[in-house]
């Protein structure tokens, strides 16, 4: 199953250094049967993209936690790791696209890295601060999230990760 794991730049550094990564609470997103049923139409590719966007939004929560710990060390960019895994289980109690991973992902399972570019940093920082309020229905916060989501995540091949991190 192709899964989309919310991450941060610090988590990408861990993946690069250790060769594996444990997703926070083993949570990832995927094109699940419930996600497919929740859309009136859409190709598999479009629905996979919807799952990836859910992971990108979850990445904002991870970023906010890091920013609260040490804002000087955090690069405010959403990151999503696409990986092919076995043993992921559905978690419809959380959301239509949520799955629980069986354990850490290995670098060889990574299909792609998705990461914001530098021009998204201001919008991402603001969105990370607003994500909880947006979840509670705050219209202004939802608008702030939309500004970050207007920035497309760049795509990188797994073998590009060391070079990408070196250039950040």
pLDDT of residue 117: 96
Enter the pTM of the model.
Answer: 0.93
Q: Let me know if residue 168 belongs to a domain.
A: no
Based on its alpha-carbon atoms, the radius of gyration of the chain, rounded to whole angstroms, reads 15
pLDDT of residue 152: 95
User: Which residues neighbour 25 within 8 Å (Cβ) at sequence distance 6 or greater?
Assistant: 100
pLDDT of residue 131: 93
- Whether 155 shows a pLDDT value over 80: the answer reads yes
DSSP letter string, 36-84: HHHSSS--HHHHHHHHHHHHHHHHHHHHHHHHHH-TTT-----EEEEEE
pLDDT of residue 27: 96
Q: CA–CA separation, 160 vs 163, rounded Å?
A: 5
- Whether 96 shows a pLDDT value over 90: the answer reads no
Q: How confident is the model at residue 18 (pLDDT cuts 50, 70, 90)?
A: very high
Residues 148 and 131: beta-carbon distance below 8 Å: no
Q: Which of 96, 59, 50, 103 is nearest to 81 (CA)?
A: 59
Tens digit of each residue's pLDDT (9 = 90 or more) over 100-151: 999 999 999 999 999 999 999 999 999 999 999 998 999 999 999 999 999 9
Q: CA–CA separation, 77 vs 148, rounded Å?
A: 10
Residues 81 and 113: beta-carbon distance below 8 Å: yes
Q: Which of 9, 8, 10, 11 is nearest to 105 (CA)?
A: 11
Q: Let me know if residue 113 belongs to a domain.
A: yes
pLDDT of residue 137: 92
Tens digit of each residue's pLDDT (9 = 90 or more) over 19-70: 999 999 999 999 988 888 888 777 888 889 999 999 999 999 999 999 998 8
Looking at the 3D structure of the chain, how many domains does it have?
1
- The residue segments making up the domain with residue 121 are 2-163
Q: Let me know if residue 35 belongs to a domain.
A: yes
Q: Let me know if residue 69 belongs to a domain.
A: yes
Q: Let me know if residue 123 belongs to a domain.
A: yes
pLDDT of residue 71: 81
Parallel, antiparallel or unpaired: strands 89-90 and 98-100: antiparallel
Mean pLDDT to the nearest integer, 89-95: 85
């Amino acid at each position: 199953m192709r899964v989309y794991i919310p991450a941060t730049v610090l988590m990408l550094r861990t993946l690069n250094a250790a060769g594996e990564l444990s997703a926070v609470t083993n949570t990832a997103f995927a094109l699940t049967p419930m996600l497919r049923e929740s859309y009136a139409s859409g190709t598999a590719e479009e629905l996979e993209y919807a799952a990836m966007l859910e992971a990108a939004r979850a990445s904002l929560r991870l970023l906010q936690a890091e920013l609260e710990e040490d804002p000087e060390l955090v690069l405010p960019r959403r990151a999503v790791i696409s990986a092919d895994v076995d043993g992921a289980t559905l978690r419809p109690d959380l959301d239509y696209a949520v799955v629980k991973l069986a354990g850490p992902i290995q670098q060889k399972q990574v299909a792609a890295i998705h990461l914001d570019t530098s021009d998204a940093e201001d919008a991402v920082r603001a969105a990370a601060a607003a994500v909880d309020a947006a979840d509670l229905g705050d219209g202004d916060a939802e608008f702030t999230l939309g500004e970050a989501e207007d920035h497309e995540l760049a795509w990188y091949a797994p073998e590009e990760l060391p070079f990408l991190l070196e250039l950040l």
